[in-house]
Structure 1
Amino acid sequence: MTTVEITITPLVVPATLDDADAAEFRAFAALSRRICDEAVGLPDLSPSAVELLPDWLDGTDTVQVGFVARLDGEIAGMVTIAYAQEDGAQTAEIDLLVPEEHWGRGIEEALLAHAEADAVARGRSILQTWTLHRPEEAERMLVPRTGWGRVPATALSGLFTTAGYELEQVERNSELDLRGDDEPLREALRRAEAVAGADYRVRSWTLPTPPELRDGFAAILARLSTDAPSGDMDFVAEQWDAERVVRREERITEGGQLMSVVAVEHVPTGDLVAYNELVIAAERTGVTHQFGTLVARDHRGHRLGTIVKCANLLRWRELVPSSATVSTFNAEENRPMLDINEAIGFVPVSYAGAWQKRV
């Protein structure tokens, strides 16, 4: 490795993307997409600048900061850190972005050290980060502490290992071709609804969430941070209310995105006990992304996961017929959800490793 002198400065976040100081933030979004393309050939895994900016401007629920590394005045890499704002939160989520052409020159180490120092200065003691991996076998395969799944070693995973991070979990990134026959979806939905019975009914909407459903939706969104399989990744229990639902949806729509939500209501209590979200960028011909999917722990075993997934995919085909692909991530140990995905036609296209370090 050849060490070079670099400069690291805070990422400039503009008020709008039309401002004179927006070039650096636009470069950040482009670099993030480039990294996804270099790592696994899927640039659409990363949002555009238009989609990212609202999240960066509203620090109510999550504060985001970034740093830019330069060589001879040219951007050579970046790092971002997200800080959850719940009381007692100890995590810092780091995203290291160094393209292949600048790797091995000391830039990645400098940026990671800078991010870790920022986290410690803010009182955070749990550092988390993610790596992307192609679905292939390599001479050296990495197995997470969960024991589920494995990914090929990369230069980035080697950096985190050397820096003291542990691979806690592997997630599978799967895609579904939306242009295929929808009868398997319809049949799976019919069978699942028959199992669930009259105690459960489907509720669906396109953002914004109807006012009368916001409290219930907030409650099930909060459970994603506690009920979803996460290995030993230490996530703070998120605090949600109707106001946070509104804030989140404003950020999504300000970024030009469209979201469809299908939830299941437990009729005897009126609680929303399962949900699935599908989102697409302003360019409606692009890749659709699944955001959250969850069945509350005390309502599992009634095929509610199949109901929300299939019902939303069928709804989506009518809402956005121009999108050809849906992309989703699921923990490798989450066999119930992976079984659903595989049964309706999702196939693996990449993997993500979840890493953690305590300081």
Structure 2
Amino acid sequence: MTIAEPTITPLIVPTSIDDDTAAEFRAYGELNRQICDEQVGLPGLALEAAQVLPGWQDDTDSLDRGFVARVDGEIVGMVTISFAQEEEANAGEIDMLVPEAHWGHGIENALLARAEEEARSRGRTVLQLWSLHRPEKTERMLVPRTGWGRVPATPLSDLAESAGYTLEQVERNSEFDLRSDPALLRTALAEANAHAGSEYRIVEWMLPTPPELRAAYAGILARLSTDAPSGEMDFVAEVWDADRVARRDGRIADSGRVVSVAAVQHVPTGDIVAYNELLIGTDHTGVTHQYGTLVSKDHRGHRLGTIVKCANLLRWQALMPESPVVSTFNAEENRPMLSINEKIGFRPVSYAGGWQKKL
């Protein structure tokens, strides 16, 4: 069957999700959910359009652009591309959203070319793209350059390979059953606290971050871009300060999302040296997303990762009793964090491939 050449236009970013101009952006959220369902059977991986809109409206820390493909007026796919705003940032991160019904007719190729054109026009020299994969073995399994993990080939991975992208990294997507017995979490937390000793203490809050903690929290958030395993993916060292923390908190509040933070503070210095964030949208019966988890390199080996994860999960079970699961992604080479996950009950449900192309 011959498909007409798609018309590609910029994605309209409305001032409100309820505006007359918001139809495209709402369709973007629905399409993202459809893609996650088709590719791995997990529609809850996608955030709702209303949740991500504030981030699209504020270009201070990250610039987001999208493009919509139509054939005969019907939306047949979209592509988005995000640009970190640090001066040293080289990369653009692409998200390809073409449903199965429209794949294979050149729409995905046209959208990828448009996204790459946008990256070049902004002086970026590196392109990145993530693919989703089911936890299964097929005849053709792909191994990343890190050597850790493997994923089955998919139409999107085939597109990435044909366009000159290299599979750099595999991440594991795991889920934790929030309705499970909390006894295991309590035991693991008690043992980890005893191991860590008196130099470390737990601090917890709901966003927005208390003003007196913003500077310390900025310090650990900045480390996520440098201390988390990323293979050869070109991630810029993010610049964080108290003002950026406040801006981020404001965007999250505007989206209606709820975030719980469990952190570990190093008592002698006052530094926050580990943290875990759990996030949910306005539908408290939906999937909870782990937004970030990190232990500073200088403080590893004290079971701080176990402390922040267990403390926040226990807290979340009480806060959000209707949410069924927590979903999280971790690099396959991040064995210490995966070991914590496995010990406390997370199980793998899908995988993601990190692809990169240098222009």
- Same fold, TM exceeding 0.5? yes
Indicate whether 1:112 and 2:112 are aligned: yes
Measured in 2, the distance between the counterparts of 1:266 and 1:17 equals 41
Indicate whether 1:198 and 2:198 are aligned: yes
Shift of 1:88: 1.8
Measured in 2, the distance between the counterparts of 1:6 and 1:323 equals 40
Measured in 1, the distance between the counterparts of 2:194 and 2:313 equals 19
Measured in 2, the distance between the counterparts of 1:25 and 1:280 equals 20
Structure 1, unaligned stretches of length 5 or more? none
Measured in 2, the distance between the counterparts of 1:323 and 1:172 equals 21
Measured in 2, the distance between the counterparts of 1:31 and 1:323 equals 23
Shift of 1:4: 3.2
Indicate whether 1:167 and 2:167 are aligned: yes
Shift of 1:161: 0.2
Letter of the 1:38 counterpart = E
Measured in 1, the distance between the counterparts of 2:2 and 2:291 equals 40
Shift of 1:324: 1.5
Letter of the 1:34 counterpart = Q
Structure 2 equivalent of residue 147 of structure 1 = 147
Shift of 1:5: 1.3
Provide the secondary structure at the position in 1 that maps to 2:20.
coil
Structure 2 equivalent of residue 64 of structure 1 = 64
Letter of the 2:226 counterpart = T
Q: How many residues were matched structurally?
A: 359
Runs of 4+ more than 3 Å apart: 1-4
Map 1:172-183 → 2, pairs under 5 A: 172-183=172-183
Aligned partners of 1:4 and 1:106 also within 8 Å: no
Structure 2 equivalent of residue 314 of structure 1 = 314
Structure 1 equivalent of residue 288 of structure 2 = 288
Letter of the 2:265 counterpart = E
Indicate whether 1:270 and 2:270 are aligned: yes
Provide the secondary structure at the position in 2 that maps to 1:36.
helix
Map 1:92-103 → 2, pairs under 5 A: 92-103=92-103
Indicate whether 1:53 and 2:42 are aligned: no
Letter of the 1:160 counterpart = A
Structure 2 equivalent of residue 341 of structure 1 = 341
Indicate whether 1:327 and 2:327 are aligned: yes
Measured in 1, the distance between the counterparts of 2:257 and 2:351 equals 25
Measured in 1, the distance between the counterparts of 2:306 and 2:272 equals 15
Measured in 2, the distance between the counterparts of 1:356 and 1:55 equals 24
Aligned partners of 1:2 and 1:104 also within 8 Å: no
Measured in 2, the distance between the counterparts of 1:322 and 1:83 equals 35
Aligned partners of 1:2 and 1:106 also within 8 Å: no
Structure 2 equivalent of residue 41 of structure 1 = 41
Provide the secondary structure at the position in 1 that maps to 2:79.
strand
Measured in 2, the distance between the counterparts of 1:218 and 1:16 equals 29
Structure 1 equivalent of residue 26 of structure 2 = 26
Shift of 1:232: 0.3
Structure 2 equivalent of residue 212 of structure 1 = 212
Structure 2, unaligned stretches of length 5 or more? none
Letter of the 1:216 counterpart = A
Letter of the 1:76 counterpart = V
Measured in 2, the distance between the counterparts of 1:2 and 1:303 equals 58
TM-score (norm. length: structure 2): 0.99
Aligned partners of 1:164 and 1:357 also within 8 Å: yes
Aligned Cα root-mean-square deviation (Å): 0.9
Letter of the 1:273 counterpart = V
Measured in 2, the distance between the counterparts of 1:138 and 1:238 equals 38
Letter of the 1:23 counterpart = A
TM-score (norm. length: structure 1): 0.99
Letter of the 2:39 counterpart = A
Letter of the 2:133 counterpart = H
